[in-house]
Amino acid sequence: MTLFDAFRYDGKRALVVGGASGMGAATAELLQDAGAEVVVMDFADVTLPGAKAIQVNLADAASIDAAVDELGGQVDTLFSCAGVADGTPGIEKINFIGHRHLIDRLLAKHMLPRGSAIGFISSAEGLGWEANLPLLNELLDTPDFDSAARWVQEHGKADYMSMKQAICAYVARQAFPLLKEGIRINAICPGPTDTPLAQANKEMWLGFGSDYRGEVGVEASTPLLQRLGDRWPGVLAETRRLLRSAVTDAERSTRATSSSMVMWVSLSSGRIGPVNCGLVGTTWPNRSSSPGPDRLKSGTAAPTCALWPAADTV
């Protein structure tokens, strides 16, 4: 048995929101390779053969409701990938509020059963969310799509960083209540990744961190596509090496995406194992030490993936 076999999705139904392009598309392909039945929701056309495509506009609550109705049954795993850049009208809805509404609808309709999992793509821009938790909690306290959208407008927070921080805070806050329902949730916070979205905002998105990438001689990450399966053992070995060693922040950030993809898919593979605690949005224990159950209960940390080996066993 290969390591990839251990992460297979045979018999699982996976929903990828934002799976028409970039990291979401790579995730959808990888899930198919791993045996999942894949449903892709996106505003753009979905070209992945064999995937059920459902059109959705995350900026429109009615469109989300219709898309969930079209889903027609439970999903074992939800990947919330869709996102847009600063300057896009409705960014607050597309990047956070719409995703939250979609999850609320799935929960209300009992479409996320025990053992299911939710994986979000936040961003390195979302890091530092803890410092803004009181304000972010006000947003999270809003009960629905419209009130959340109103709050964002009133507080001038319709921007990329605020909505990525909102994802991190949401994931941390929901981790414990959802876990009581047997549902895991976490987010990754990728750094620059060469996708259509990043190319459209190349100077800023791919320029970020280019100084240290230049010095250490590495390129921006890529979504990895289906070849990850072949490379999996190497990626895991590399991740273990990073966990063992005290890496510098720069090194950690540079390598984040390749390792996070392992984390990303394993997070949602739907198998419940021992829950290991890690900070939301990080791909391995980060600057602080593992927070433990107290932070999980207080809503400031999320469980990492079930299949991920605990740091002390790596």
Ligand X SMILES: NC(=O)c1ccc[n+]([C@@H]2O[C@H](COP(=O)([O-])OP(=O)(O)OC[C@H]3O[C@@H](n4cnc5c(N)ncnc54)[C@H](O)[C@@H]3O)[C@@H](O)[C@H]2O)c1
Q: Find the shortest distance in angstroms from Cβ 294 to ligand X.
A: 29
Judged by beta carbon, residue 196 or residue 214, the one nearer ligand X is: 196
CB-CB contact of 9 with 269 (8 Å): yes
Number of continuous H segments (helices) and E segments (strands) in the chain = 15, 8
- Give the DSSP H/E element, type plus range, for residue 251: helix 249-254
* Least Cβ distance, residue 93 to ligand X (angstroms): 8
| Among 281, 278, 282, 285, residue whose Cα is nearest residue 306 | 278
Burial 138-177 (b: 16+ CB within 10 A, else e): ebbebeebeebbebbeeeebbbbbbbbbbbbbbbbbbbbe
Query: Which residue, 93 or 295, has its beta carbon nearer to ligand X?
Result: 93
3-state secondary structure (DSSP) of residue 243: helix
- Alpha-carbon distances, residue 99 vs 65, 186, 292 (angstroms): 11, 14, 27
| 227: three-class secondary structure by DSSP | helix
Helix residue spans in 13-142 (DSSP H): 22-33, 61-71, 91-92, 98-108, 133-141
Q: In terms of CB distance, is 220 or 275 closer to ligand X?
A: 220
What minimum distance in Å lies between the beta carbon of 194 and ligand X?
7
Residue 145 CB, shortest distance to ligand X, in Å, is: 13
Residues that bind ligand X (CB under 6 A): 18, 20-24, 42-44, 56-59, 81-84, 94, 121, 123, 190, 192-193, 195-198, 205
Comparing CB distances to ligand X, the nearer of 23 and 301 is 23
Contact present, 193 and 123 (Cβ < 8 Å)? no
To the nearest whole angstrom, how small is the minimum distance from the Cβ of residue 116 to ligand X?
A: 21
Q: How far is the CB of 275 from ligand X (least distance, A)?
A: 25
87, two tokens: 């300057």
* Nearest of 255, 223, 231, 269 to residue 18 by alpha carbon: 223
CB of 42 to ligand X, least distance (A): 5
**Identity of the residue, 192 or 270, whose beta carbon is nearer to ligand X in the bound complex:** 192
Q: 257 vs 276, which CB is nearer to ligand X?
A: 257
**d(C-alpha 165, C-alpha 131), whole Å:** 10
* Shortest Å distance, C-beta 72 to ligand X: 19
* 221/304 with CB nearer ligand X: 221
Residue at 177: amino acid letter: P
HEC-encoded secondary structure of 195-212:
CHHHHHCHHHHCCCCHHH
Nearer to ligand X, 49 or 134 (CB): 49
